[in-house]
Amino acid sequence: MSILEVKDLTVSFRQDGKSQMAVKGVSFALDRGETVALVGESGSGKSVTALSTVSLLGGSAQVGGSVTYDGQEMIGAPENLLRKVRGNDISFIFQEPMTSLNPLHTIEKQLAESIALHQGLVGDAARTRILELLQKVGIRDAESRLGAYPHQLSGGQRQRVMIAMALANKPDILIADEPTTALDVTIQAQILELLAELKASENMGLLFITHDLGIVKRIADRVCVMKDGEIVETGPTAEIFANPQHPYTQKLLSARAVGQPAPVPDGAKTLIQTDELRVWFPIQQGFFKKVVGHVKAVNEATISVRSGETLGIVGESGSGKTTLALAIMRLIGSEGGITFDGQDVRKWSTSQLRALRKDMQIVFQDPFGSLSPRMTCEQIIAEGLGVHRIDAGRSTRDLVAEVMEEVGLNPAMMHRYPHEFSGGQRQRIAIARAMVLRPRLVVLDEPTSALDMTVQVQIVDLLRDLQVKYGLAYLFISHDLNVVRAMSHKMIVMRHGDVIEAGAAQDVFANPQTDYTRNLLAAADLS
């Protein structure tokens, strides 16, 4: 008998007096020691299905059908039974550990809370179990990390702590909801390997939720493809990848950023150049804040980018990618040369820099976090026009409508707020906000990492089209090497603040010169 059986599951939510169906007749089973992947784009019903297994959807949800764990019905089960199962028999790992972990409590306290609640272990017994868990998930020098707070750990370490918390009570089922989306490719590979090892050693069932089919291919035994709340195709992983039957599955499998950027125009001028750029943050101690050392975020980086050219910047978290870009934009202090369009901007005053801001724009990783929830789409896009007092002889609304059409948004939606758009649409708004100023340099900081694969392809095509149309220079920061290859003319590889490899993007991909670059490429699902 399967450890988890879902039969004809339906979930609807009441909104504005109407019932909205989120899950429609979903059925699947999970055995011990097996990995089943729920795959689909945002809004397909994957996470709602997973949360339904232990009734975590809240009072607004109307749930029908059947969910049985080890023969026990979970839908409509008494609260005391659900409390026993949640976190004990069925555990969750969520996408963003920084929001799942309590920022005010140490790692030890958060793990101890779960162990005390379900196992009754306290004091030295609890600490011994915590150290065992942290070592099992690959946290080095675990004892020294017990007193650390979440913000003091890297993204990969935080995710490992989340896995330790999920495994603390030896669950029968582990539900991992997009657990590797925000991680570097090397860390992602380590987490996937860790999950596979733990599943085998503990004989758990693993329900893995993702929109990344590259991950599914590496970890799952069976796949359920979801669209609009329904499972449209299911089967063994190898079979689904070799011979997908449903058009939606075929679309997902073919959604991969491909091709190359258009060639840089002949005679294109160098727009941005750095000469041994350095960003060191002082480490201060004592009452008088004596400088006892430095965090060397960027070490003597020398780069150049021409108009119409993209420089891809890759490396693991903490390698200095974003710090380098912020220093180039004069948003943080630095030493060394920064030349923009032939002018040394490092010595410019604040008022001189204000005029430069129009020519340098940035698009961030999380469009929802970078857009004000209290402003309409029109207000967000037009804000820069007012700041820089741009008068093109046309109304602001006309300029906003024009740039919305350019990025593939319907101008009729300009009165809407960010929460009324999908993730891909919000990223288009962020791009429109930058492009309305007609910049010459755009920093793209992980602009596709939070997006579904099909939306990623659309955004890459949009960015390449805008580059050709306006001769834009891009600094493209990403850990998705497929997207970097599709976007970049040149690339640099950063590690611990150093540029350890640089060259034409195709040359670096074809013939990497350092072991670190080779490891990055090996960890990525390059196709």
Task: Report which residue type is found at 192.
Answer: L
From 13, 77, 1, select the one nearest 45 (Cα to Cα). Answer: 13
* Distance in angstroms (rounded) separating the CA atoms of residues 430 and 80: 46
Domain regions of the chain by residue span: 1-89+173-255, 96-168, 270-359+439-523, 376-438
What is the CATH topology of the domain spanning 270-359+439-523? Rossmann fold (3.40.50)
Please say whether the structural domain 1-89+173-255 has been given the CATH code 3.40.50.300.
yes
Instruction: Pick the closest to residue 205 from 94, 97, 96, 70 (CA basis).
Output: 70
String of b and e for 262-290 (b: at least 16 CB within 10 Å)? eebeeeeeebbbbeebbbbeeeeeeeeee
Let me know how long the chain is.
Answer: 527
Return the SS3 of 233: strand
- Exposure string of 172-201, with b = 16+ CB inside 10 Å and e = fewer, is bbbbbbbbbbbbbbbbbbbbbebbeebbee
Task: Round to whole Å and give the CA distance between 86 and 106.
Answer: 22
- Which helix (H) or strand (E) element contains residue 100? helix 97-100
pLDDT in tens, the chain (527 residues): 689 999 999 999 876 667 788 899 999 999 999 999 999 888 788 989 999 998 888 777 889 999 999 999 999 889 889 988 988 899 988 876 667 788 899 999 999 988 887 778 888 888 999 998 888 887 878 888 888 888 887 767 788 888 888 888 888 999 998 887 767 777 778 888 888 888 888 899 999 998 888 889 889 999 999 999 999 999 999 999 999 999 999 998 888 777 889 999 999 999 999 999 999 888 777 777 787 777 788 999 999 999 999 999 998 877 889 899 999 999 888 999 999 999 888 888 888 888 888 899 999 877 667 888 899 999 999 998 887 777 666 788 999 999 999 998 899 999 999 888 877 788 889 999 999 989 999 999 888 876 778 888 888 999 999 999 999 999 999 888 889 999 999 999 999 899 999 999 999 999 999 999 998 888 876 66
Give which of 379, 467, 41, 423 is closest to 232, Cα–Cα: 41
User: Are 298 and 320 a contacting pair, CB within 8 Å?
Assistant: yes
H/E stretch holding 363 reads: strand 360-363
SS3 content of the chain, % helix, strand, coil (to 5): 40, 25, 35
- Report the alpha-carbon distance of residue 300 to residue 280 in Å, rounded: 10
Asked whether the domain spanning 270-359+439-523 has the same topology as the one spanning 1-89+173-255, the reply is yes
